[in-house]
Structure 1
Amino acid sequence: MTTVKIKRLGHLGDGISDGPIYVPAALPGEVVSGTLDGEHLRDPKIDTPSENRVKPPCSHAKSCGGCQLQHASDTFVSDWKRDVVRQALAAHGIAVDLEPPITSPAKSRRRATFSVKRTKKGALAGFHMKASDTIISVPNCQLLHPELTAALPMVEALGVLGASRKGELSVLVTRTDTGLDVTVTGGKEMDVSLHQALSDLARDYDLARIAWDDDIALQRRAPVLRLGPADLTPPPGAFLQATGEGEAALIDAVKQALTGAKRVADLFAGCGTFALPLAQDAMVHAVEGDRDMTNALDHAWRNAEGLKRITHEVRDLFRNPLQPEELAKCDGVVIDPPRAGAAAQVAELARASVPRIAHVSCNPATFARDTATLIRAGYDVEWIRVVDQFRWSTHVELVALLRRNN
């Protein structure tokens, strides 16, 4: 038996003691004993609990791998996520005052990917256990919107219809304003019998749309999300913000950062999360690498009223970033890259003379790296707003306003 004292929390949510030794579900200040296995303490027992330890609100917390931090108080998690951003910035010599994160409430996740396996009696749908291929049902999930947890029987019915006995079905369910949008991958090949069965299932569960692998199997009505004054129908499986509250916080921050801008470039624009609201006040050029998403954005813009012009371009900004001369007419840029950041595009932004940049990120480490590039080029960070729409997880997002100095 080995006893350790936890010094800090790692980026994956494990407690870390000297060594380092990693201890799952442990918090800083706790004394923990268990069996040492290399760098990991197995079967840990909390001998001295932290004052920040709480009873997990979800009955699935011990088995489900979906949340990493339900054993910690909301205040601790909020402070820790703010420190994650602060430490990432400090590694590049950047110091900015940070307010507490804007955290999405419990039961607010509007999309989730369920795993489904056939069983002898039907199918089992849910999330994987921690570090396991085993699926557990999560009917009392405190993270998902109630309409998603209520959809578990529908997901299991999909498994009965379309999963092989050995394979695993992946079912992405998105709550939209007009009903659930379902995208299935890893299922059987589509045939007439399966299509008819899916039609019956969609009617029974009042689904808006079902996509099967790369194709829309059926659409009873368009799945619609409201963005500013526009109604967006995203392509199946398209990237969307995890919660409506988180999306609203990000949009509000971007709009504040670019208040008064007349020509904006939206880089890594997706389906128009920022482009459509920004077009209420500015002309927007949206650049995205996925044609289906730019088509959805264009359709939403053309059918909305009161928006200024949105142009769009399908372009791989990793290999072919916008050049300074292409940004010359813009007085604002919003950039929202994936977790890897946007080193190539940021290098070109650093050579341009855009007055303001709203930098959105889901990775504080690459955000700090790219922001350091812009600071060296003459930008100042005016503020950073931290947004936590992945409640009880180790993920954190943020929006920053960078203004070019004179």
Structure 2
Amino acid sequence: MSTQTVTIARLGAQGDGIAQTEAGPVYAPFTLPGETVALAVNKAHGTLISVKEPSPDRVEPKCRHFGPDGVNGACGGCALQHASDDLYHAFKRSLVIDALKSKGLTPDVAPLVIAHPGERRRAVFTARRTEKELLLGFNQAESHHIVAISECPIASPGIVSRLATIRKIAAAMASSAEPFRITVLETNSGLDLAFEGIKLADRQRRLTVEAVLGERGIARVSLNGEIIVEPVKPAIDFGSVTVSPPPGGFTQATRPAEEAMAKLVLEHVGKAKHVADLFSGIGTFALRIAQRARVHAVEGDDKALKALDFAARNSQGLKPVTIEKRDLFRRPLMAQELKAYDAVVFDPPRAGAEAQCHELARSGVKKIAAVSCNPVTLARDLAILTAAGYRITSVTPIDQFLWSAHVEAVATLEKPQK
């Protein structure tokens, strides 16, 4: 390890500043382009010692836990609280632009749909019992060290105001000193706490039930997908349809980002009469589309699909919704099957929808809306479709994970009619 004074050239894809040295690039968290900084350098990693010449884009972080001098250590939940809004927003948009360019795609990319503090309705905490207390917080970047938090500016007030309650329930759940995860979702009816990584004995189960029944604002507690206690069924809304997500099930992290994505998808689908929603999850798009068109929802997760189906069957005013459990990575809808639809929406995990896009490319479906949490795989998938004659009509980056290096995007495509 050596101490070096360097100038930061640019931001990397993970939000670290990158300095070019004689030995190659050095990646330094908590730095910004144009800054002169002192680093402790170990191979390609630089630990910030001091900022000798700060960037005019450097701002005061919003959270006491952020940065190398953060309380209890540098919380790994955020990467860019020290960047001005202008720099940060340009960085997020550039992630999408650069990924598309890497595949030879140069469509117009809309301005970033920005995120705001206090919008995150879903957060994943790490917890561990110690001899003195229960630690609850986020892991330090690239570390198993838990930064115990007392605030979180990205999380909703409904979550932050109940951190003590979450700790109380987690303490009742903890059966050893091993770390475990808690996914917290704020719903219409209270917090949904999904625990993973705990072996729960009968005594802990009883303690947990007692802890929950004595606390307000908790809708459900589950462990590894099994409901332990459910004082009230968790509920979230997709347009006019109310859905109860399965324990630990995937939901979009913020309501504003979800609504922005849904608006783009619905506008593109337009007057289509029969729509396929692939990787449908619990119905984020399918149940909104069903208010105007027939929908076939395809999803590999059985619990998510059952939640979608139950909501559709128990909501009035929807067009017919059919469901299909199918692993779209191994068995995508084939081109011939896709011919039944006027429009297709797909929202896959980070791995993208490569196999499905090859079939879409052969299908001739008129309209496609691609929703993605990974610009790299989105660019690959769009390249497959454009090579088959599809035209990209819009790309919109959407910030859902504030001050992180993650960005969502919605791309819309059309097949020119001959």
Instruction: Decide which of 29, 35, 45 is 2:34's aligned counterpart.
Output: 29
Cα separation, partners in 2 of 1:35 and 1:212, compared to 1, 3 Å:
closer
* Alignment partner, residue 303 of structure 1: 314
Q: What per-residue deviation string (whole Å, max 9, x for no partner) do you get for residues 166-223 of structure 1? A: 21121111100011111111223241x3333222222222211111223111211110
* Alignment partner, residue 168 of structure 1: 179
Checking the alignment, whether the CA contact within 8 Å between 2:175 and 2:200 is kept in structure 1 is no
* Alignment partner, residue 254 of structure 2: 243
Matched, 1:278 2:301: no
**In 2, Cα distance between the equivalents of 1:140 and 1:157?**
16
* Alignment partner, residue 4 of structure 2: 2
**In 2, Cα distance between the equivalents of 1:73 and 1:117?**
34
* Alignment partner, residue 11 of structure 1: 13
Shift of residue 38 of structure 1?
Answer: 1.2
The equivalences for 1:182-331 within 5 A come to: 182-191=193-202, 193-206=203-216, 207-331=218-342
Matched, 1:128 2:130: no
Shift of residue 129 of structure 1?
Answer: 2.3
Q: What per-residue deviation string (whole Å, max 9, x for no partner) do you get for residues 279-311 of structure 1? A: 011100000000111100000011111110110
**In 1, Cα distance between the equivalents of 2:92 and 2:229?**
41
* Alignment partner, residue 112 of structure 1: 123
**In 2, Cα distance between the equivalents of 1:165 and 1:286?**
41
* Alignment partner, residue 61 of structure 1: 66
**In 2, Cα distance between the equivalents of 1:128 and 1:203?**
29
The equivalences for 1:345-356 within 5 A come to: 345-356=356-367
How many residue pairs are counted as aligned between the two chains? Answer: 405
Q: Which stretch of structure 1 is more off in the superposition, 130-139 or 376-385?
A: 130-139
AA partner of residue 376 (structure 2): A
* Alignment partner, residue 409 of structure 2: 398
* Alignment partner, residue 43 of structure 1: 48
* Alignment partner, residue 399 of structure 2: 388
Instruction: Decide which of 336, 345, 362 is 2:373's aligned counterpart.
Output: 362
Shift of residue 132 of structure 1?
Answer: 2.6
**In 2, Cα distance between the equivalents of 1:163 and 1:111?**
21
Taking only the aligned residue pairs, the percentage that are identical comes to 43
TM-score by length of 2: 0.94
Q: What per-residue deviation string (whole Å, max 9, x for no partner) do you get for residues 314-340 of structure 1? A: 000000000111111101000111111
Shift of residue 151 of structure 1?
Answer: 2.3
Cα separation, partners in 2 of 1:48 and 1:72, compared to 1, 3 Å:
same
SS at match of 2:295: strand
**In 1, Cα distance between the equivalents of 2:225 and 2:121?**
22
Q: What per-residue deviation string (whole Å, max 9, x for no partner) do you get for residues 222-262 of structure 1? A: 10001122110010111100001111111111101111111
**In 2, Cα distance between the equivalents of 1:263 and 1:139?**
48
Instruction: Give structure 1 regions of 4+ aligned residues with deviation exceeding 6 angstroms.
Output: none
**In 1, Cα distance between the equivalents of 2:9 and 2:204?**
54
Shift of residue 349 of structure 1?
Answer: 0.3
SS at match of 2:275: strand
Instruction: Decide which of 342, 347, 360 is 2:353's aligned counterpart.
Output: 342
SS at match of 1:65: coil
Checking the alignment, whether the CA contact within 8 Å between 1:122 and 1:156 is kept in structure 2 is no
**In 1, Cα distance between the equivalents of 2:201 and 2:271?**
51
**In 2, Cα distance between the equivalents of 1:92 and 1:286?**
30
Q: What per-residue deviation string (whole Å, max 9, x for no partner) do you get for residues 353-403 of structure 1? A: 100000001111110111011001010001111110111000000101100
**In 2, Cα distance between the equivalents of 1:213 and 1:330?**
37
Checking the alignment, whether the CA contact within 8 Å between 1:14 and 1:23 is kept in structure 2 is yes
Matched, 1:375 2:377: no
**In 2, Cα distance between the equivalents of 1:113 and 1:265?**
31
Q: Which stretch of structure 1 is more off in the superposition, 101-110 or 314-323?
A: 101-110
Checking the alignment, whether the CA contact within 8 Å between 1:235 and 1:292 is kept in structure 2 is yes
**In 1, Cα distance between the equivalents of 2:415 and 2:192?**
42
